[in-house]
Amino acid sequence: MKYLHMVVALAAIGLTGAAAAEDCPSGPEGNLCKAERGERHAMYMVARAAYIKENEAIKNGATVVDFSDAYKWAWKAHVLGFTGGDKVLKMIYLNATAHNDPVEAHRWLARALNDGEDYLILWQQRLEGIMTQEQIQEADSKTLD
């Protein structure tokens, strides 16, 4: 029942957010404004930009990065049914440097593979190479939201 209330509330936010987003600037600079007003595509774009920023920091030698903004906006896009949010979540979970959760990563990969994203087979094989059998079994026993 709580889940239903959350879905209805988020749907209402999404409907009112689209009209309110007209006041936001156009282009990438307006994405955060639009995301805050409920546009799910803008949420994905903000999540993607935050993920890219942190991933670039890793490439430049950072040992501590924070994917929390990327996660927050990707999760919101996911809850509103935007598949781009799922893709960002998958990449966050796969990033072993700063957000290592192999069980969750395996679950997202399994979901994507079930959706036909066959290019991820190698990612799943690599991930399973560093996971214990218990972790793989745990991932396989859970269903995604």
Number of domain units in the chain:
1
Residue 130 lies in a domain: no
Token couple for 32: 């955060």
The structure's pTM equals 0.62
Residue 15 lies in a domain: yes
Could you list the residue range(s) of the whole structural domain that residue 29 is in?
A: 2-73
Please check whether residue 14 lies inside any domain of the structure.
Answer: yes
Residue 131 lies in a domain: no
Let me know if residue 62 belongs to a domain.
yes
Cα→Cα distances 18→13, 32, 46, 135, Å:
9, 13, 16, 41
101 within domain boundaries: no
| Distance, CA of 97 to CA of 18 (rounded, Å) | 36
Q: What are the contacts of 2-6 at 24+ separation with CB within 8 A? A: 6/79
Within a domain: 100:
no
39 three-state secondary structure: coil
pLDDT of residue 3: 52
Of 45, 66, 44, the closest CA to residue 54 belongs to 66
Is residue 124 in a domain? no
Q: For CA atoms 115, 48, 77, 64, give the dihedral sign.
A: positive
pLDDT values of the chain reduced to their tens digit, one per residue, 145 residues: 555 444 444 555 555 445 555 789 988 889 999 999 999 999 999 999 999 998 888 788 877 777 888 989 999 999 999 988 988 988 887 775 444 678 888 888 888 888 887 877 888 888 888 889 999 999 889 776 6
> Which sign, positive or negative, has the C-alpha torsion 48, 53, 56, 62?
negative
